[in-house]
Structure 1
Amino acid sequence: MYAQPTRYPSIALSPQSSETVCKQAPTDPNGRPEGEQ
């Protein structure tokens, strides 16, 4: 369920943050809409 490092380099460093971002915001730090995967 973790974001891929290639698409989410900032989140890739912190897998735990990945879950938090997905639950808190519909978009990731790069501005790409979650759920595309």
Structure 2
Amino acid sequence: MKFHPNVTSYRAIARGAGVTRYTAAKWYEMMRGMLGVGNLK
């Protein structure tokens, strides 16, 4: 799965990462913060 920063579908993220949709939703915001995605400062 290619990295697309605008993809917010937990199903697509979970499939690409090989985890459950619940896990993708749980860790989504933390991962975005670590990657610096969406931080406009």
Give the alignment's TM-score, normalised by structure 1: 0.31
Structure with the bigger percentage of helix: 2
Give the alignment's TM-score, normalised by structure 2: 0.30
